[in-house]
Amino acid sequence: MDVRNCKNCGRLINYIGGAPLCENCKKKLEEKFQEVRAYLEEYPGSSVERVSEALDVSVKQIRQWIREERLTLSVAGADGVVCEQCGAPICTGRFCDKCKAEMANTFAGAIEKPKPKLQEAQKSERDNKNRMRFL
């Protein structure tokens, strides 16, 4: 059994993977995410800073959700979101399409992956920098 302290409130928890948070803090965080989601539905294209200020949620937490692919930026590389492998600007997640494809090839052999939707990426580049939408 892996016992850890909750990252948020310090309570001891049985760690089972994912974020080291107790049930209480996990629930609170989930509620916060729903608030962010509702906010972005009402004000699509809000910047990370704006959401952070409006809902009293840290920029770090919003970035975490972007890394988890729960939120996505409409412009690649806005707010310093870059591929962890090669540093290329990305909209969401941890790696760019190229690195993801390379990793997928490494794992799955030489299976050809479907090409990313270029058109959609180009369309979103016309939006202002540093904006998000809900996935």
Does the protein bind Zn ion through residue 83 (CB under 5 A)?
yes
Q: How far is the CB of 22 from Zn ion (least distance, A)?
A: 3
Distant-in-sequence, close-in-space partners of 119: CB < 8 Å, separation ≥ 6: none
d(CA 76, CA 79): 9
Q: How far is the CB of 11 from Zn ion (least distance, A)?
A: 5
Distant-in-sequence, close-in-space partners of 128: CB < 8 Å, separation ≥ 6: 45, 74, 75
Tell me whether residue 4 or residue 11 sits nearer to Zn ion (CB atom): 11
Q: How far is the CB of 6 from Zn ion (least distance, A)?
A: 3
Does the protein bind Zn ion through residue 85 (CB under 5 A)?
yes
Mask 25-64, x = binds Zn ion (CB under 5 A)?
x---------------------------------------
CB burial readout 7-24, b (16+ within 10 A) else e: eeeeeebeeeeeebbbee
d(CA 96, CA 91): 9
Does the protein bind Zn ion through residue 86 (CB under 5 A)?
yes
- The binding site for Zn ion (CB under 5 A) comprises 6, 8-9, 11, 22, 25, 83, 85-86, 88, 96, 99
